[in-house]
Structure 1
Amino acid sequence: MIAKLFARLEELYPEAVQFRRDLHMYPELSFHEVNTPEKVADTLRSLGLDVRTGVGGRGVVGLLTGGKPGKTVALRADFDALPIQDEKDVAYKSRIPGVMHACGHDIHTAALLSVAKVLSEFREELPGNIVFIHQFAEEVIPGGAKPMIEDGCLDGVDVIFGAHVASSIPVGQIGVGEGYMMAAGDSFEIELIGKGAHGAYPHLSVDPLLLGSQLVVNLQQIVSRRVDPLKPAVITCGTFTSGQAYNVIPETAKITGTVRTFHEDVRDLIEEAIGQVAAATCEGAGATVRYTYTRGYPALFNHAEETKRVEELAKVMYGEENVMQLPPSMGMEDFAYYVQKVPGTFFNVGGMNPDIQATYPHHHPKFDVDERSMRGIGQLFIAAVLHYLTDGEVVPERVGTEASVF
């Protein structure tokens, strides 16, 4: 059965490329997606799926009910773009000034729609159900995953799989990892209120610029001296703004930054400690502090059983030499919300290809990936679905070769 599905997926590949390039030419920013979800919903409806739109705001969910009773698997793709000017020299370059798909979400969406088409054609043979989650606003906190979950996209779901194309991994290779794989990402803002004065008379001031400089240094002691060294953490001050004139000591200063952690106890500790350090640094000198800490996405935790399932399937399909263990990353991803609710895993599919200049990092103006990565996403999604629904009875054969990746 799985060979027939892979053959059909290959027949649909040119159509997937066409759909991906259409999305690439007409990208839409997070929380401003209008045409993209309409295109997705229209495609899912044409397959005879039960489709919900406006899920959590702008999300689209399609339900494929198999011909036989069984468990329910969810597959997720995101479809928002970034506020970046596309600088590639390709026919499918973004037509929208200042907006581009610089992270591969167009690849994810087109690949998942191809999977939906293939599985819908074989629905009578499926022992269970598949939920296709097309998510809005992954790139911007608070993201689309959480409101979609609150709106029921995971209702009845037993397990979930997600994939991300990676321009740092050669096309034809798969990256997997178990446990904490992506960090929780939070932000903070500290406003220091001092007393302004002429630069010639510093004794009449309470200098927030000086205190802010001390604070930037003092904050680094939180990770080095308060956090368990076996638990990774990052505090980065990204902006420091104060003053407008060279000879005036300003009244205020503002520092903003990001915090990345994997463990909730460390997250709690750092949130409290930043406030303590800010107060201690400034209040003793006569300045006051306004401190705001905003929590973003939680840490992404890949469950062992589902991760092992994808890893073993990938080794069978592409060979052990093409399956790598990924190290944890301090980047963040709101797929984390899904795997807080149900077991699941999030894996990477290689898209790097120097022959077509697909080597630039994500969020770069010249970002692109090898479109054959859609085959890898599609094949692994189909294999994972069938393997899970049949309790391991359906196992694919080798599909990739050195001459023809994926």
Structure 2
Amino acid sequence: MNAPSSELIERLSNTLQAQTDHLIELRRQLHAHPELSQHEFETTRTMVARLQELGFTTFVRPEGTGFYADLTPVGFDPEIHPTIAIRSDIDALPINELNDVPYKSQNPGVMHACGHDVHMATVFGSALGLLDLKDHLPGRLRLIYQHAEETVPGGATEMVDFGAIDGVDAVLGLHCDPELPIGRVGVRPGPFTASFDLFELTIEGKGGHGARPHQCTDPIFVGTQVANALYQLPAHNFDARIPAVITLGSFQAGAVANVIPESASLSGSIRTISPEHRDQLDDLLRRIIGGICLAHGASYELKLIRGAPAIHNDPYLTDAITEIATDILGDQGIYRIPLPSMGGEDFSVYCERVPGAMFRLGTGARAPRNFLHSPHFNIDERALTIGASILARTALRLLHEKALEKKTDRMVRPL
């Protein structure tokens, strides 16, 4: 049998509907107690305790932030039974919340403004639904609660090194989208997000009097030439049909109006959906920056910080998510995303190792300035059950399909 029965699906749906208030309560508790990247100690303890109460076996990183948890049926054998993982990130942002709600952040200057509280609650909801079917699961369910998604490099690599993806046949994820209304999800096979890398550049010149620039090597002037060249780099070095964006976020130099400073510091981000473009960046940056500095008699120091690669959603998994979301929400509930986002997401680290797919969960709440990373970010909490249902049903379907694949593979394997 390669598909769950209608009875199992109905049972799962009923369980999740009955747990709606529980998921809202959990999301609000997490929202009120956000923690920054690499400091998610209480968040980790909270989620570990809840999953241990359900009978999950938990594996916490020695650092105390981030963990994975397994729901393993009796008689599980990795040779013949698959493992499907569902991932949630758990960290918050250094943002002071401006919402006036009973569950407002109690940690000043820290807020779940990217919806990781929502991700945690929906993934927990999928666990509640599948726990009720434990005796009928043809494989193992793994939940990955990952720390430090908001930093560069992200926590996904550390979770992979900790073994979170070992033995996993496929991984699923979701991300809040306040620009999609409740009852809709965004899907896209292939390129889904961009890679995200940072650079830090220091240009060393020769300072002096503002009235005598001929005696100086002005790092501000050199820096402006570099800035202009970097903004033009994608258009003149990459295939224009493949998106790539370089953004300068900081340009620091000097302190007074009549003095040419000794140095200037620039930093920014680089995003592309092309792995080939990404691999060319270090050489391109050094060639362009080095040429400009040489022409003006300046020197430079460049640091390139590699972040998350681009997400490329597995087409088969994306189709499975789409079919199940359509069954739950109807055709009108599916938004086929026309272009990849240029935002970064280290869910991509898992997708480089095993088939993976992420979808966007419509959480739109009618409020001004309600967008990701906003101090006003909030959600329509009906989205929790929708997200949990799609994750749980997709995982259930994949467990059945991968179990059949493994059985078939063993049957045809030569002796």
Judge same fold: TM > 0.5, yes or no: yes
Instruction: State percent identity of aligned pairs.
Output: 37
What's the offset of the Cα at 1:270? 2.4
1:16 and 2:23 matched: yes
Q: Which residue in 1 is equivalent to 2:253?
A: 242
Task: Please point out which of 104, 125, 135 is paired with 1:114.
Answer: 125
**Equivalent pair of 1:56/1:150 in contact (CA under 8 Å):** no
> Structure 2: how far apart are the matches of 1:27 and 1:154?
26
Give ranges in structure 1 of 5+ residues lacking alignment.
394-406
Q: How does 1:331-350 map to 2 (within 5 A)?
A: 331-350=343-362
> Which whole-Å deviations, capped at 9, do the CAs of 1:70-92 have from their partners, x for residues lacking one?
31100111111110001001111
Q: Which residue in 2 is equivalent to 1:376?
A: 386
1:260 and 2:267 matched: no
RMSD: 1.7
> Structure 2: how far apart are the matches of 1:207 and 1:341?
47
1:293 and 2:304 matched: yes
> Structure 2: how far apart are the matches of 1:12 and 1:202?
70
> Structure 2: how far apart are the matches of 1:159 and 1:370?
29
Question: Number of aligned pairs?
Answer: 392
Read off the aligned partner of 2:363 and give its amino acid letter.
G
What's the offset of the Cα at 1:391? 2.4
> Structure 2: how far apart are the matches of 1:74 and 1:158?
8
Task: Please point out which of 175, 179, 187 is paired with 2:190.
Answer: 179
Q: Which range moves more in the overlay, 82-91 or 218-227?
A: 218-227
> Structure 2: how far apart are the matches of 1:99 and 1:8?
33
Task: Please point out which of 324, 327, 342 is paired with 1:330.
Answer: 342
Q: Which range moves more in the overlay, 167-176 or 63-72?
A: 63-72
> Structure 1: how far apart are the matches of 2:342 and 2:179?
15
> Structure 2: how far apart are the matches of 1:56 and 1:386?
32
Task: Please point out which of 121, 125, 141 is paired with 1:130.
Answer: 141
> Which whole-Å deviations, capped at 9, do the CAs of 1:341-394 have from their partners, x for residues lacking one?
11010001100021xx2761111011001111111111001110121122299x
Q: Which residue in 2 is equivalent to 1:389?
A: 399
> Structure 2: how far apart are the matches of 1:68 and 1:168?
44
Q: Which residue in 1 is equivalent to 2:48?
A: 41
SS in 1 for 2:401: coil
Q: Which residue in 1 is equivalent to 2:412?
A: none
> Structure 2: how far apart are the matches of 1:339 and 1:86?
32
> Structure 1: how far apart are the matches of 2:62 and 2:123?
17
Give ranges in structure 2 of 5+ residues lacking alignment.
1-7, 404-415
What's the offset of the Cα at 1:221? 2.8
**Equivalent pair of 1:190/1:290 in contact (CA under 8 Å):** yes
Q: State the TM-score, normalized to the length of structure 1.
A: 0.93
> Which whole-Å deviations, capped at 9, do the CAs of 1:207-232 have from their partners, x for residues lacking one?
11111111111222321211111221
Q: Which residue in 2 is equivalent to 1:62?
A: 69
**Equivalent pair of 2:114/2:372 in contact (CA under 8 Å):** yes
